[in-house]
Amino acid sequence: MPVSLILFNPFATSHNPRIPNSVLQVAAAIEGKYEWVIVDGNKEKDPWSKIRQYLKTGDYKFFGCTVMPGPQLRQAIPIAKRVREEFPDVKIIWGGYFPSNHPRPVLFSGYVDVIVNGMGDKCFPMLLDALQSNSALDEIPNLIFRKGDQVVTTRKEEILDQENFPDLPYEKLNQFYPMSGYLMRTYLGSKTIAYHSSHGCPFTCSFCAVVPIYNARWKGQSAEKIYRNVKRVKQLYGGNAVEFHDNNFFVSEKRTVEFAQLVKPDHMIWWGEGRIDTIDKYKEESLKVMRDSGCKMIFFGAETGSDALLQKMDKGGTQSREQIIRFAKRMKDVDIIPEYSFVLGFPADSEEEVARLIREEIQFIKEIKRANPNTEIIIYIYSPVPTENSELYNEVRKTGFRFPEKLEDWISPQWENFDLRKNPLTPWLKSYMIDQIKNFETVLNGYYPTVSDVHLKPWQKKVLRFISTWRYKMNCFSYPYEIKVLQKLWKYRQPETEGF
């Protein structure tokens, strides 16, 4: 009998669980060689009891878990710990952004044996073979593990060509959890498919967690492959819209246009994440083809209206304040909604300077809204990622900021907030500044409720706007309780935590 393993996707969201692409792609890589089962924490009330049932059969030798920072840790940590305690012979492997970026606390926890650092498609089957035969791991790429007190990081392999990767085993996932439960009702459609068509990003923004993993490399599937798979989900399970989960879907204009042309006859609305500077270089006809094919909204990291800060983030030179505003207008003309995300609360030389920058960003966001009121605004608070050698991260370290050294500390409420980029523990940000940002966000979302909240009725949006008008216009953001009460009552959707 082939050796079996459990792949675990810890709980990330109670609304709209997406197709668990991370574990599914890993499963595709070992299909035929190893038996696998999936446990999805988004779908199970008590995933541990399910995992335990599997392990008690004695058939499972490996436990693989994907982990992104934030609430996924809340299940990933205690469950890995229990696997170790009750089934000490089972090898525990973690992959995904969290362990790749924070290997030390993970490995020194004592309950994670090996980390897959970056793409797992090639190294994971090699790792399982090596663990099976008790052979050395040193020559296998993309791994991090411990030898005594030493942490060994093996050679990072070039980003893999995904064209010949096997297609994702949706049919098998469907046996564990019905695919219909993963096709979400969103602003884009009633059955939205989550598809991931590329890895990496060619840029090196110093605040971004993708950079340490992919080192400014990007590779994507061909338009034909993307279309074939999207069509497969449409035909098999009725998918009628697509949300591309790529870090940067739009790197290649040619690929984007080809995909748009292929998907146009299917009348599927689609969405993806891109860069302002990249898409600003697209030809007018390309934007038109995209819009006509169903591209209704694109997510962009606008980040800040300060050219100096853009420079510090390694995003200057190619993106500027002037361009951010001009591009919002350009998107209005082609009828694609730009979803702009901003990162507020960067470190500065003095407390006054940090506070001044926040005030300036608020006014900049209002300026964008004047240029194109349809622009959707997403606000994050800056939480550092360990991008070694970047000016920004060096500055952060000088303030005394340190990540937790003990894995369990990551699930304390403060650090969870840090991960959600809502209330980080960065020493330069004072609580009145966080209040200021959050209060502005409340008023902004009142005055301009997001179009992506499909449950909010038009009359509710009107009421929200009406009560927020005076605050928005007069820059009076403190204590916006009346707006908060309505947002809570009507379960206002915040793309920041529900989306990306």
Amino acid at 43: K
CB of 28 to ligand B12, least distance (A): 9
CB of 207 to ligand B12, least distance (A): 9
Distance CA 303, CA 315 (A): 9
Distance CA 174, CA 416 (A): 31
Task: Map residue 334 onto helix, strand or coil.
Answer: helix
Please say which residue, 93 or 429, places its beta carbon nearer to ligand B12: 93
Distances (CA, A) of 32 to 4, 27, 35, 125: 11, 10, 7, 11
Residue with the CB atom nearest ligand B12 in the bound state: 95
Task: Map residue 108 onto helix, strand or coil.
Answer: coil
CB of 411 to ligand B12, least distance (A): 11
CB of 59 to ligand B12, least distance (A): 18
Sheet strands side by side (includes 114-116): 35-40, 4-9, 60-66, 91-95, 114-116, 143-147, 150-153
CB of 65 to ligand B12, least distance (A): 6
Strands 35-40 and 60-66 come out as: unpaired
Please say which residue, 245 or 255, places its beta carbon nearer to ligand B12: 245
Please say which residue, 70 or 449, places its beta carbon nearer to ligand B12: 70
CB of 10 to ligand B12, least distance (A): 8
H-only helix segments in 182-248 = 211-214, 223-237
CB of 122 to ligand B12, least distance (A): 9
Give the interface with ligand B12 as residue ranges (CB under 6 A): 9, 12-13, 17-18, 20-23, 25-26, 42, 64-66, 68-72, 93, 95-98, 101, 116, 119-121, 124, 196, 209-210, 245-247, 385, 419-421, 496-497, 499-500
Please say which residue, 96 or 424, places its beta carbon nearer to ligand B12: 96
CB of 242 to ligand B12, least distance (A): 13
Please say which residue, 68 or 193, places its beta carbon nearer to ligand B12: 68
What does the block give as tokens for 426?
């960065």
What does the block give as tokens for 400?
């005394």
Please say which residue, 367 or 496, places its beta carbon nearer to ligand B12: 496
Cβ(260)–Cβ(290) under 8 Å? yes
DSSP state, 182? G
Distance CA 369, CA 440 (A): 14
Distances (CA, A) of 247 to 239, 266, 340, 363: 22, 25, 15, 28
* Sign for the pseudo-dihedral over CA of 171, 172, 173, 175: positive
Please say which residue, 122 or 332, places its beta carbon nearer to ligand B12: 122
Distance CA 202, CA 214 (A): 8
Task: Map residue 59 onto helix, strand or coil.
Answer: coil
CB of 149 to ligand B12, least distance (A): 24
Centre a 10 Å sphere on the Cβ of residue 389 and count the other Cβ atoms it contains: 7
CB of 371 to ligand B12, least distance (A): 26
Burial of 167 (0-12, 13-18, 19+ CB in 10 A): exposed
Please say which residue, 209 or 223, places its beta carbon nearer to ligand B12: 209
What does the block give as tokens for 177?
């959890």
Please say which residue, 64 or 345, places its beta carbon nearer to ligand B12: 64
Distance CA 441, CA 453 (A): 16
Please say which residue, 450 or 468, places its beta carbon nearer to ligand B12: 450
